[in-house]
Amino acid sequence: MNDIKANGTILIIDDIPNNVELLCESLDDAGYKVLVETNSNNVIDKIKYSMPDLILLDIMMPEVNGFEVCHLLQTEVTTKDIPIIFITAITDTFNKVKGLNLGAVDYITKPFRYAEVLARIQVHLKIKKLQKDIECKNIQLEKLTNNLESLVAERTNELTTTLNTLKQSQIKLIQSEKMSALGVLVAGIGHEINNPLSFILSNIKPAQEYIDDITHIFQLYQKYYPNPVQEIADELKTVEMEFTLEDLSRILKSMQLGSERIQGISVSLRNFSRSDTNIKVLADLHQGLDSTLLILRHRMKTFDKRPEIKVIKNYGTLPQIKCYPGQINQVFMNIIANAIDALEEAWEERAIQQPEIIISTENSNANTISICISDNGLGIPEAIIKRIFAPTFTTKGVGKGTGLGLSISHQIVYDNHQGHLSCVSEVGKGSKFIIQLPVK
Ligand SMILES: Nc1ncnc2c1ncn2[C@@H]1O[C@H](COP(=O)(O)OP(=O)(O)OP(=O)(O)O)[C@@H](O)[C@H]1O
Ligand SMILES: [Mg+2]
């Protein structure tokens, strides 16, 4: 027998070697390496060592019979895939079925027809080879699928990140667009008011001086010409000249006060639109709060039957802080506008008598200042409070809210100023937004 045979190794387990002598020869002729095992004891260990491609197994053996050997081979991981063909003289169907049920692939009855045995062996070796190929292909396919899955997951992750970044940039764009449009408008109004106002203010003083001169001359006339002609005497009686001159002064004074107030508003408007700074600058946050309140004042006035929204300012002493003032004003604007919305809603639901916003500021410690903006509106339910800072989350109707105000405020406070923005609220007890900012 040759040691290395191209067609594979066949192990014959049969206790009587004479029975299979001729079979061995014809298998050898057909190009197989043939091993014969006559002792079925400890046969598994021997098989593990030789690892044949196929086993021809006799059923009737004295020590351990063929069925038992088959069972043992099938339960061993290393041998369970070796095809087993039973060879026996027993021809009844019961034993054939038993053998096949135990995991054998075929059944050959003695006496052998060698051509048939060879054909069966070839078929089963081919099936085994095909099975192995399929297994390899399956492993490759599984690897490919896994690779593909991780590739898809990776791509999905990348896409999700890109989408989120896009969303964030879009939010920033919308908000900065909104704010810069408002800033331009506000700055424009501030500027336009300023010119005619300076003109009025600069003319009030000379007007007062002219009136003083006229009054003085009038008094002189009265002193040196106490009895004027009849027509002047009649006119003086109807006009009440002294009262007119006194009132004229008062009118001028109130014009001056009014103009100065408009001037204050104009300064506030221009302060609000200081969003054009690219670097952090020192800013007075109270000024920012006041400018924002001024811009939102039209929304606080008595409306329909709703009383004016009362604003209580508990301003502490704040140092100037290094910040982007325009952005901080944007945060104030978003939070105060939300408070006004909440108060309007509470009023509509008849839940409050007097809408109120309290703004408190304090220098919490050497490094931090905090600003609290609270309202006595309806408050925020616990389930919603977790979501209010998420982009596009809104409980307001279509066209009323975009859901961007708090998310952009959060970004401004956290990312651009390394501060902290939080909300404390309870249904029926109003809401409180706390902004904490580092001083430097
Ligand atoms: N003071 C508040 N009282 C009650 N609910 C509030 C208050 N502030 C915010 N909310 C809730 O948080 C949600 C998100 O607020 P956010 O400012 O981000 O968006 P919005 O006000 O709905 O829309 P906009 O983009 O116009 O500001 C609001 O829809 C509202 O439900
Ligand atoms: Mg809002």
Q: Ligand 2 mean position to 334 CA, how many Å? A: 5
CA dist 207 and 438 (Å) reads 50
Give, in order, the Cα–Cα distances in Å from 381 to each of 111, 136, 172, 386, 430: 89, 59, 27, 9, 10
Task: Give pLDDT tens digits for 244-288.
Answer: 888 888 898 888 888 888 888 887 777 777 655 678 889 999 999
Supply the pLDDT for residue 321: 93
Probe residue for ligand 1, chosen from 352, 388, 422 as the CB with the greatest number of ligand atoms within 8 Å:
388
Beta bridge partners, 424, equal 432
Q: Could you tell me if the CB of 393 is within 6 A of ligand 1?
A: yes
Task: Give pLDDT tens digits for 362-409.
Answer: 998 889 999 999 999 999 999 999 999 988 899 998 878 888 889 889
Helical residues (DSSP H) of 52-113, grouped into ranges: 66-75, 93-101
List the single range of 170-174, 289-293, 302-306, 434-438 with lowest mean pLDDT: 170-174
Residues of the chain with CATH 3.30.565.10: 280-440
Supply the pLDDT for residue 346: 95
CA 219 to chain centre: 79
Contact 336, 312 (CB under 8 A): no
List the single range of 235-239, 245-249, 274-278, 298-302 with lowest mean pLDDT: 274-278
Task: Please give the average per-residue pLDDT across 234-248, as a whole number.
Answer: 87
Give, in order, the Cα–Cα distances in Å from 104 to each of 65, 71, 126, 266, 433: 14, 9, 16, 99, 78
Q: Ligand 1 mean position to 165 CA, how many Å? A: 22
Q: Ligand 2 mean position to 403 CA, how many Å? A: 6
The single-letter code of the amino acid at 341 is: D
CATH topology of domain 9-112: Rossmann fold (3.40.50)
Q: How many CA atoms lie within 13 A of 226 on its CB side?
A: 1
306 secondary structure, DSSP code: B
Residues of the chain with CATH 3.40.50.2300: 9-112
User: Which residue's C-alpha comes closest to atom 31 of ligand 1?
Assistant: 395
Is the full-model pTM beyond 0.75?
no
Q: Determine how many CB atoms are found less than 10 A away from the CB of residue 439.
A: 17
- Percent of the chain beyond pLDDT 90? 48
Supply the pLDDT for residue 2: 43
CA dist 290 and 15 (Å) reads 107
- Specify the CATH architecture of the domain 280-440: 2-Layer Sandwich (3.30)
Contact 120, 164 (CB under 8 A): no
Q: Ligand 2 mean position to 17 CA, how many Å? A: 95
User: Which residue's C-alpha comes closest to atom 9 of ligand 1?
Assistant: 338
Supply the pLDDT for residue 166: 87
CA dist 95 and 102 (Å) reads 10
Ligand nearest to the CA of 389: 1
Confidence band, pLDDT 50/70/90 cuts, at residue 4: low
Supply the pLDDT for residue 5: 61
Task: Please give the average per-residue pLDDT across 224-245, as a whole number.
Answer: 89
Q: Could you tell me if the CB of 186 is within 6 A of ligand 1?
A: no
Supply the pLDDT for residue 157: 94
Task: Give pLDDT tens digits for 330-371.
Answer: 899 999 999 999 999 999 999 999 999 999 999 988 899 999
List the single range of 146-150, 180-184, 236-240 with lowest mean pLDDT: 180-184
- Percent of the chain beyond pLDDT 70? 98
Supply the pLDDT for residue 172: 74
Q: Ligand 1 mean position to 352 CA, how many Å? A: 19
Report the atom number in ligand 1 closest to the C-alpha of 430: 3
Task: Give pLDDT tens digits for 122-178.
Answer: 999 999 999 999 999 999 999 999 999 999 999 999 999 999 888 878 777 777 777
Confidence band, pLDDT 50/70/90 cuts, at residue 1: very low
Give, in order, the Cα–Cα distances in Å from 121 to each of 7, 14, 82, 86, 430: 11, 17, 12, 11, 87
Q: Ligand 2 mean position to 406 CA, how many Å? A: 6
